[in-house]
Amino acid sequence: MANKHRNLFLKVEAFHIKFGSILRPIDNHVDMKVLRPLTKFILLAFILSVLSCREGSAGKTPARPVQVPSSPAKSRIKFAQGFTIDYFDRYKEVKILNHSAGSADTLDYLLLPAGVAIPAGHAHAQVIRIPVQSMIVLGSPHIAQADFAGVADRITGVGDGQYIVCPVVREGLRTGRVRQVGLESGLNNELVISMRPGVLMTMTNPDAAFGGYRTLMDAGIPVLPNADWLETTPLGKAEWVKLMGALTDREDLVNRKFDSVEQAYQRLAAIGKASAIRPSVIIGMPFKGTWYMPAGDSYVAQLLRDAGANYHWSDTKGTGSLALNFETVAPVALTADFWLDVGDVDSKKEILSRDTRYEAFRAFRSGAVYSYNRRVNAAGASDYWESGAVNPQSVLADLIRILHPDALPADTLIYYKQIK
C-alpha cells in the first residue's frame, strides 16, 4: 500500500519536475525513509487527498480500485448566470456563457487532471490542468475568489499591484513571488508566457472579441474570462468562487463557505426587506454633468432592495448604469435620506471641492453620506472591490446598519464609512 502510494507520489513528483515552474515546495525533496510514523501517517493522509483530487490518476491505477475517499464534491450553480460547471467521469467542463451573442459563442473549457487525455468532441475547448497550481489574475475580485478558496498563494501574477488589498498577494509582490503583468491593453504577453501560469483570468466581457489573447492561447496558456461583474445579483457575483473551487479541486470547502454566505445573506435580506421604514437613497456622484445611476437590474439595485431602501430607479430596465443629467437626479437627490457610494472621498469638504451644489442635498446636510472606502490600502484602493465581491453578506449588513440602525445588533461597519 505504502509502496503504491510512493510510486504515485514519485509520479506526481515527476509531473512536477516536468512542469518545473509550478512545483509547490511542500511535496519537494521528501525522503520517505527518514520519516517518523506520525509524519508518515500525515503524509499518507496527504497522498490520499492528492489521490482523491486527481480523479484521473486514481482512475488510472490498475485493477481493484483503492478505497479512496469519495470523489470531490460537485458544485451546483444557483445564482450566477455567466458560467456553468459540468462534472464527468474523469474531467470537468466549464462554460463561460455569452448571453448577448447567444449560446453559439459560449467559451468552452476542459478541466483535466494530470495525465487525462482530451475527450473526443472537444477540439475547440481550452484545456486547464487541475488542480491549478499557479494563476495570473487581472481583476480584484479574482484575488478575493482565490482567497475565499484558500489558494491566494497560488497567484503568481496580477494586473496592477497598487490596487491589491489581500495581504498574501501584497507580500508576494514585495518578495517578488508575485509579478505585475499589466492590465488588459498593456498586458505583457512575453512575461505571461514565460511565467507559464496554469490559467490566466481576465475581466474581459466574454462578448468582446477574444482575439487579443490569441497569442497567449497559442502559447498554450488557457485564458478564462472571469466576468463576475456581469452578474446582476450579489449572490450571483459571489458565486463565481465556485469556478475557483472547480479549478483548484476545492469544491468541498468552497461549497461549504458559499452556503454559509448564502444563508447569511438571505437571513439579512429578509430583515432588510421586512423593514417598515424605507429610507430613500441616491448612489454615486455626477461627472461633468452626467450622473451614472445603477439601473434597476444591476446588482447594486438588488443590494438596495435587499437592504430595504427606497431606490428611485429600482424599476428601470438594464443591468448597467443609466446616464442621467443632473437635473433629472436633482429632485430625488435634494430630498433623499441617504447618499451612498460617493467614491473615494474622505471628507465632506472634499465633496464640496468637486461641486459646491452638493451642499443643498438633505443627506449631505444631515451627514448621512457613506462610501465604501473604510478598508483601503496605502494606494487608496478599496477592499470593497476585492473581498466585498465574495462577501455580499457583509456589504448587505453594512447597508442595513446604515439604513436601519436598529434592525441589527450594533457593530462597526466593515466596508462602509460615514463621510464627515
Partner 1 sequence: MTATPFSKVRLTGLLLLLLLAFLLDLSTGTVHISLKEILRVFFSPATADPIGQFIIKGIRLPKACTAVLAGCGLSVGGLQMQTLFRNPLADPSILGVTAGASLGVAAVMLAGGSMATLYAIKELGVSGSWLIIAAACVGAGSTMLLVLLLSRRLRDNVMMLIVGIMIGSITLALISIWQYFSNPEQVKDYLLWNFGSLGGVTGGQLLILAVVVVIGLIVASLSAKMLDALLLGENYARSMGLSARKARAVIICSTSLLAGSITAFCGPIGFIGIAVPHIARFLFNTASHRILIPACCLIGTILLLLCDTFAQLPGTQTVLPINIITSLIGAPLVVILLLRQTTVHSW
Binding test (CB under 8 A) with partner 1, winner from 350, 366, 367, 418: 350
Question: Starting from the edge strand earliest in sequence, which strands make up the sheet with 310-311, in order?
Answer: 310-311, 280-283, 338-340, 369-371, 417-418
Kindly state whether residue 205 participates in binding partner 1, applying the rule CB under 8 A: no
Please, what is the angle between helix 299-306 and helix 251-274, to 10°?
60
For partner 1, which stretch binds (CB under 8 A), given 97-105, 183-191, 390-398, 408-416?
183-191
Decide: 184 and 204 in contact? Cβ < 8 Å. yes
| Nearer to partner 1 (CB atom), residue 183 or residue 191 | 183
Per CB under 8 A, the list member of 13, 184, 207, 337 interacting with partner 1 is 184
Q: Whole-number minimum distance, CB 347 to partner 1, in Å?
A: 10
Cα–Cα nearest to 74, from 245, 241, 207? 245
**106 touches partner 1 (CB under 8 A):** no
Furthest-apart CA pair in the chain: how many Å?
78
Beta bridge partners of 358: none
Q: Please tell me whether residue 325 binds partner 1 under the rule CB under 8 A.
A: yes
- Decide: is 379 part of the binding site for partner 1 (CB under 8 A): yes
CB of residue 313 to partner 1, shortest distance in Å: 10
Bridging pattern class, strands 321-325 and 223-225: unpaired
Residues binding partner 1: number (CB under 8 A): 31
Ramachandran category for residue 380: left, alpha or beta (phi over 0 → left; psi -120 to 50 → alpha): left
Name the segment binding partner 1 (CB under 8 A); options: 22-30, 300-308, 350-358, 386-394: 350-358
Residue 64 in the binding site for partner 1 (CB under 8 A): no
162 interacts with partner 1 by CB under 8 A? yes
Of 48 and 183, the one with the shorter C-beta distance to partner 1 is 183
Question: Which residue lies nearer to partner 1 by CB, 48 or 352?
Answer: 352
- As a whole number of angstroms, the distance between CA 400 and CA 385 comes to 19
Nearer to partner 1, 167 or 331 (CB): 331
Give the nearer residue to partner 1 in terms of CB position, either 369 or 400. 369
191 lies in the site for partner 1, by CB under 8 A: no
Amino acid at 403: L
Nearer to partner 1, 186 or 405 (CB): 186
Q: Which span sits near partner 1 by CB under 8 A: 32-40, 145-153, 181-189, 249-257? A: 181-189
Select the residue interacting with partner 1 from 70, 356, 406, 409 (CB under 8 A).
356
Rounded Cα distance, 399 and 394, in Å: 9
Residue 239 cell numbers, joined: 458565486
337 is a contact residue toward partner 1 (CB under 8 A): no
Taking CB under 8 A as the criterion, the residue among 190, 194, 334, 418 binding partner 1 is: 334
Q: Select from 39, 205, 353, 418 the one that contacts partner 1 (CB under 8 A).
A: 353
The reply on whether position 190 binds partner 1 by CB under 8 A is no
Q: Does 323 help bind partner 1 (rule: CB under 8 A)?
A: yes
Distance in angstroms (rounded) separating the CA atoms of residues 234 and 223? 25
Among 21, 335, 366, 418, binds partner 1 (CB under 8 A): 335
Nearest distance in Å: CB 187, partner 1: 12
Our CB check for partner 1 shows the closer of 45 and 379 to be: 379
Q: Do 162 and 376 contact (CB within 8 A), yes or no?
A: no
CA pair distance 178, 410, nearest whole angstrom: 39
Element (H, E) at 69: none
Residue 290, Cα to own-chain centre: how many angstroms? 30
Question: Looking at beta carbons only, is 331 or 367 nearer to partner 1?
Answer: 331
Contacts of 240 (CB under 8 A, 6+ apart): 80, 82, 83, 141, 145, 226, 228, 231
Q: Judge whether 399 and 407 are in contact, CB under 8 Å.
A: no
Single residue of 331, 365, 366, 367 touching partner 1 by CB under 8 A: 331
Residues 259-318 that bind partner 1 (CB under 8 A): 286-290
Q: Which residue's entry shows cell 460547471? A: 85
Q: Which three cell numbers stand for residue 398?
A: 453594512
Q: Indicate the pairing of strand 280-283 with strand 310-311.
A: parallel
Residue 391, classed as helix, strand or coil, is coil
Q: How far apart are CA 240 and CA 84, in angstroms?
A: 10
Q: Which is closer to partner 1, CB of 28 or CB of 353?
A: 353
**Of 232, 243, 355, nearest to 294 (Cα)?**
232
The answer to whether 330 contacts partner 1 (rule: CB under 8 A) is yes
Among 260, 349, 366, 418, binds partner 1 (CB under 8 A): 349
List interacting residues with partner 1 (CB under 8 A): 160, 162, 183-186, 286-290, 322-328, 330-331, 334-335, 349-350, 353, 355-357, 360, 379-380
